[in-house]
Amino acid sequence: METKSETVEIIRRSVSGAQAPPMTRDELKCAAAHTQVTAPPSAVVYCEGNFGQIDGKTANGLVRHSQAYRILSVIDSTYSGHDSGAVLDDTMNHIPIFGHLDAAVAHEATRPDTLIYGMAPSTGRLSNADRGVVLQAIKLGMNIVSGLHEYLSDDREIANAASQCAVTIRDIRKPKPSKDMRLFDGSVAGVKALRIAVLGTDCAIGKRTTATVLARALNAKGIKTVLVGTGQTGLMQGAKYGIAMDAVPPQFCCGELEGAIVAASDAEHPDVIVIEGQGALSHPAFCTSAFILRGSQPDAVILQHAPKRSHRCDFPNMPMPAPSSEIALIEAFADTRVIGVTLNHEGMSEVEITDTIAAQTQKLGLPVTDVLARPAAHLLAMVVAAYPGLTLKPAVAAI
């Protein structure tokens, strides 16, 4: 059996062109096997009318970061012909946007493996127009991935079509049977890794993005970090550990999250575990933040806030809370401390971002940054300032 270095050399030689020495038959077999194992399936993300918007957060997240799928393109006729990175973050990522599925498929030399439903509508259900696109993708031989509360694998028409075309349906939010779920037992207290939860003042505010950027920044500095996902998008992106918490019966939410954290600790032995937040502790429509605080028992919390958002997402009569009130609530509810605030700069100019960071830092007495508009080093500094004992080591692969 070849060593890791020998495997890397074999793969290097397989892609380095005519100047590389000829490979033996065994080396070719090895390279092919590794290519099959490591290459993620290709995917087109469907986000009609919602890309770059709040309900398009799944598509937004996938074009920014995806380990589980190789994102080829996005479908949204509103931005047909544009680059998704330019639309989302004013930075080209070379993932094009098409107006319909036929155009997205025609753009590729081979048929994409997967269609990902990239929206998170408040209804959690599939519209009639969206249903037609899903059925079209199935007929083309594409697997389906969905994070809806409505499980497509339970839909008779869609399930029958998938069976006839021999494709799979992956319902991210579909939980395992309750008989296989675990209750909270307190074992999270034995986890040695520093646990940091990223919570927020509202839903769809950027908690997952901040958690992802933080995990990357820590790993890049040699602080081994594991991200535990708690929602459908994080799991689609490839979070190795986690659960879709809003699909788990409340009795098991804390235990299931605890189990994911303990599993990550036992298998990876990380220095830090970052827990993705959901909803907001103060939000009356969501209970998930309470379960996250109870189930993960975080040592620290980073709070995500959108200063220009006047009311809660999908709740126009519900004003946004101030960061200070959310911090007070979090620290009263759980034995933890908020170590910093991160901004969602929706609707803000560059000058407003700078002024808000300065004003909130002074008002709250905490470090404040914007993970997309400011260098990740600022976020890293926030954590290291709170926990100076974290040791910087040679960089490790992000998990």
Three-state DSSP state, 44:
strand
**Single residue among 121, 145, 171 that ends a domain in this structure:** 171
Q: Is the pTM of this model over 0.75?
A: yes
Q: Residue 392: inside a domain, yes or no?
A: no
Whether residue 393 is contained in a domain is answered as no
Q: Are residues 32 and 58 in the same domain?
A: no
| Residues 225, 102 share a domain | no
Residues 27 and 102 in one domain: no
Residues 18 and 127 in one domain: no
Average pLDDT score, the chain: 90
Rounded distance between C-alpha atoms, residue 101 and residue 262, angstroms? 41
Q: What is the dihedral of CA 184, 189, 195, 197, to 10 degrees?
A: 30
In a domain, 395, yes or no: no
Percentage of the chain lying above the pLDDT 70 cut: 88
pLDDT, tens digit, 9 for 90 and up, residues 302-345: 999 999 999 999 899 999 999 999 999 999 999 999 999 999 99
Domain hosting 251: range is 179-386
Within this chain, do residues 138 and 166 fall inside the same structural domain, yes or no? yes
User: CA-CA distances (angstroms) from residue 133 to 82, 104, 111, 127, 160?
Assistant: 21, 12, 15, 10, 15
Domain count, the chain: 3
One domain, residues 70 and 130 = yes
The predicted-structure confidence for 90-109, as pLDDT tens digits, reads as follows 999 999 999 999 999 999 99
* pLDDT above 60 for 21: no
CATH code assigned at 160 = 3.40.50.720
Same domain? For 199 and 292 the reply is: yes
- Minimum mean pLDDT among 18-32, 59-73, 88-102, 315-329: which range? 18-32
Q: Does position 78 have pLDDT exceeding 80, yes or no?
A: yes
Q: Which residue has the higher pLDDT, 372 or 38?
A: 372
- 399 within a domain of the structure (yes/no): no
Residue 262 forms part of a structural domain: yes
pLDDT at position 39 is 83
Query: 126 and 145 in one domain?
Result: yes
Task: Name the DSSP letter for residue 274.
Answer: E
- How far apart CA 50 and CA 48 sit, in angstroms, is 6
Mean pLDDT of the region 288-311: 98
Question: Domain check: are 292 and 164 in the same one?
Answer: no
Give a yes or no: residue 394 inside a domain.
no
